[in-house]
């Protein structure tokens, strides 16, 4: 059978399995999660052995240090995964819960209820822990997932996928809601199957996300770039300006919510102190003559420095004339991820919060707070910078959609209209 | 300038205008709607004259009767449009309204607020009323729209678009949130501009929707096919089975929520009465030998009859062995629009409602109820059969997204972690 046929068959099995799985009682999905927690403990040696095969692969020696570190499983990483599964065991299952209950007429009751989205394609790089994190979230939310991890983690991913499937089957539920996808071609095939796949979630580099978005008409949830700005307004508290700029850039520079550009209002008198603090922290500051004039050691900026995601201890800096120029800069070069203003002026802050068109907009707080855990969303699915379905840090909430249920007693539309029955449209309490 | 350049510039102007428009006070958008209501009255003669130009076009003579009827404006159609605008003037504006308010820590407050989606591309056929219906909805929801109507209505569409722009400008708001798009090539160009256009809403034939979905990576909201099923269970009330089947098929056969297929449970003893009632109403019933055996005058069905949207007085009929076979048929041939079961058995109904994977699933009610007005959603944007963002009949709700606002007092992430501060995650009342 052709590759395309295989991928399509896998997707078809996922659809069928999900339709059963999503309609099961919540206790079944909870039982599968409990089984998973138990199996993660019982099979620890097997999992570590599978992971060792990946680490022993001749190709692994060529992997960069940070990638190799992410590839390696350990008893403590497995304990963290079990802890995550335990939290999901105890978390609410909103499937079937009404969001709207409305009487349309006597005896004609409309409900809008939550249901799983359906079949998700997850493409991720390297980190095998993601199999359990994403897999357990899929079990909780009643979705099916097709997972494609990096080939350098293939033994680990296969062992962890098998564990998920065993946990589901042991709860008398269809194991095909979790499937491992093999090979790049299979992913390419699946990205074209918009009838079979409802949502694609890429977790990895900006390039991975861009490639997937370019290759598929299926909705993609996530973000490619995290080009976050810190704007120091004329009325900023100088000490706070330094704190927020430093934390936004240096707390964890490799991640998407770290700042990449500093915008200094020309009327802010302490711009030099902010630049100096960044330089002192070991940050390369790239700027034009306006910035160079503020401190020694500024690197000349190129036009391409704005709108670039460094992901390291580098920041672009620019002097702006006022709030409007700051906002225009953010809209031109930003990626709608997270932008923050430092100011003591409430009016200025209000305009910034209302006008900046990003998924997270902050006032007097570090860009690094943009994160599902910090927002209190529980398990994090990702951060979406698009404008439909979900936006910003996204918890399990992003894995549900709704359907409408209408219950009547033989009601027909022909009975309604001018001179006939009319609708009551009475909202009812949601249980 | 090239076409692509023109379309891209229009989209760019729409983006800029929307960012201003969506951040204005609600009173400004309300004033624009009031202006629109007034202008629709003051310019009635001009609008009818523009419409007459379209009707007088030599090409109009070749249009099918129903299309010509939809193309023609009239004083009463304009009064209906004014009434729709009046309702929007009085309706709530949720922009900026918090959905979530959460204290993350002392003085660190997170809000998730509603915001407009951004720039919408609306492609519709023939009916010029849609310009005002969609345009007024865009004003209310703070979105920008690029509108492409059918070329046979170009004078009408241009006059109505000019009216919308005048109403917005007279409220001192940027008129470029409403723009008319000229030419097929411009639409093709815009469909490729996923950086500029956030959502595409096609309103027209199934073919139009399919073409647009195939041509674009931008999310498309809507549905191409409406293949709705009526399943008469073994335990159906015979009189109710006839009522629901008849209304679902014959109340308005040309629309997407009309039934296209009847599924009769073999154990339902009165299948013949249902088929006969449909035949008596002038419906062509297409079925196999099982169906022909129930009544005289059944047309032999082809395999292609299942999964076909007739849009007229034709229905495919099939005998199924049980609920599972009915559900499997719906999942194989349906379009996730609306499917209904007729039964007096609550257990069977519950399984049907939970298991059928469509955007609207009914029990003892006609499929024709699937409609934004009947659901009590106010102005209808369309019916979405996809699984992300919006599903089923969609009101203005579908034209909003959210953003996250975080307000601190110099809070930085470096202060949190093991042995340091921890988050409080206290949900606060939403004002």
Q: Which residues of B touch A112 (CB under 8 A)?
A: 392
Task: Specify the DSSP class assigned to residue B158.
Answer: H
Q: Please state, in angstroms and rounded to a whole number, the distance separating the CA atoms of residues B309 and B321.
A: 24
Q: Give the closest of B331, B389, B423 to A376, CB-based.
A: B423
pLDDT digits 0-9 by tens, A213-231: 888 888 898 888 899 999 9
Please say whether the beta carbons of B223 and B384 come within 8 A: yes
The tens digit of pLDDT for each residue in A260-285 reads 999 999 999 999 999 999 999 999 99
The CATH architecture assigned to B3-223+376-403 reads: 3-Layer(aba) Sandwich (3.40)
| pLDDT attached to residue A126 | 67
The answer on pLDDT for A31 being more than 80 is: yes
Residue A376: which of B102, B355, B413 has the nearest Cβ?
B102
Structure tokens at A211: 């490639």
Yes or no, beta carbons of A389 and B391 under 8 Å apart = no
Give the residue-averaged pLDDT of A7-28.
95
pLDDT at B126: 67
- All residues at 6 or more sequence positions from A28 whose CB lies less than 8 Å from its CB, including other chains: A171, A172, A173
Q: Mind telling me how many Å the CA of B177 is from chain A's nearest CA?
A: 16
Report the residue from A368, A387, A410 with minimal CB separation from B198. Answer: A387
| Cβ-based contacts under 8 A for chains A and B | 236
The residue ranges of every structural domain in chain A are 3-223+376-403, 228-358
* Partner-chain contact A361 B23, CB within 8 Å: no
Q: What average pLDDT score do residues B196-203 get?
A: 92
Task: Say if residues B125 and B150 touch (Cβ distance below 8 Å).
Answer: yes
- Give A44: exposed, middle or buried? Use CB within 10 Å, 0-12, 13-18, 19+: middle
Residue B1, pLDDT score: 44
Q: What is the pLDDT of residue A213?
A: 87
Res. A4 pLDDT band, cuts 50 70 90? low
Tens of pLDDT, residue by residue over B100-117, are 999 999 999 999 999 999
Q: Chain B: give the shortest CA distance to residue A56, in Å.
A: 34
Please give, rounded to a whole number of angstroms, the shortest distance from the CA of B377 to a CA of chain A: 9
The residue among B107, B339, B358, B410 with the most chain A CBs within 10 A of its CB, best to mutate, is B410
- Per the DSSP assignment, residues forming a β-bridge with A382 are A394
Residue B261: strand, helix, or coil: strand
Residue of B nearest to A363 (CA): B407
ipTM of the complex: 0.93
Cross-chain residue pair A411–B355, CB shorter than 8 Å: no
Domain B228-358: give its CATH superfamily.
Answer: Aldehyde Dehydrogenase; Chain A, domain 2 (3.40.309.10)
Q: Is B406 close to A118, i.e. CB distance below 8 A?
A: no
Q: Nearest CA of chain B to the CA of A19: how many Å?
A: 7
d(CA A65, CA A71): 10
Note the pTM of the prediction, 2 decimals: 0.92
């Amino acid at each position: 059978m052709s590759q395309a046929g295989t991928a399509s068959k896998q997707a078809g099995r996922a659809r069928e399995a999900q339709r059963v799985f999503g309609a099961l009682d919540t206790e079944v999905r909870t039982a599968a999660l409990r089984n998973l927690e138990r199996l993660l403990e019982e099979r620890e040696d097997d999992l570590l052995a599978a992971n060792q095969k990946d680490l022993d692969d001749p190709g692994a020696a060529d992997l960069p240090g940070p990638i190799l570190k992410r590839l390696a499983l350990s008893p403590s990483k497995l304990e963290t995964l079990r802890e995550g599964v335990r939290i999901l065991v105890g978390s609410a299952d909103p499937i079937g819960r009404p969001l709207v209950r409305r009487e349309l007429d006597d005896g004609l009751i409309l409900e809008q209820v939550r249901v799983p989205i359906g079949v998700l394609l997850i493409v991720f790089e390297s980190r095998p822990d993601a199999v359990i994190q994403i897999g357990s979230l899929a079990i909780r939310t009643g979705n099916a997932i097709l997972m494609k991890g990096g080939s350098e983690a293939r033994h680990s991913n296969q062992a962890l996928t098998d564990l998920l499937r065993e946990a589901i089957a042991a709860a008398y539920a269809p194991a095909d809601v979790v499937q491992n996808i093999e090979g790049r071609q299979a992913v390419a095939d699946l990205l074209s199957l918009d009838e079979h796949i409802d949502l694609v979630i890429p977790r990895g580099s900006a390039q991975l996300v861009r490639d997937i978005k370019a290759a598929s008409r299926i909705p993609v949830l996530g973000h490619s770039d995290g080009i976050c700005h810190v704007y120091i307004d004329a009325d900023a508290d100088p000490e706070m300006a330094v704190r927020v700029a430093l934390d936004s850039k240096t707390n964890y520079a490799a991640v998407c919510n770290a700042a990449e550009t500093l915008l200094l209002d020309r009327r802010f008198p302490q711009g030099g102190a902010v630049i100096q603090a960044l330089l002192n922290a070991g940050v390369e500051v790239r700027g034009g003559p306006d910035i160079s004039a503020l401190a020694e050691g500024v690197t000349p900026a190129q036009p391409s420095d704005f709108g670039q995601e460094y992901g390291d201890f580098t920041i672009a800096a620019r002097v702006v004339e006022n709030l409007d120029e700051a906002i225009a800069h953010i809209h031109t070069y930003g990626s709608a991820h997270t932008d923050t203003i430092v100011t003591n002026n409430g009016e200025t802050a209000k305009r910034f919060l209302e006008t900046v068109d990003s998924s997270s907009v902050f006032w007097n707080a570090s860009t690094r707070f943009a994160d599902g855990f910090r927002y209190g969303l529980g398990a994090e699915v990702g951060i979406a910078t698009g404008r439909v379905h979900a936006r910003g840090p996204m918890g399990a909430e992003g894995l549900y959609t709704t359907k409408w249920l209408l219950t009547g007693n033989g009601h027909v539309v022909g009975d309604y209209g001018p001179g006939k029955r009319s609708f009551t449209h009475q909202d009812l309490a949601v249980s």
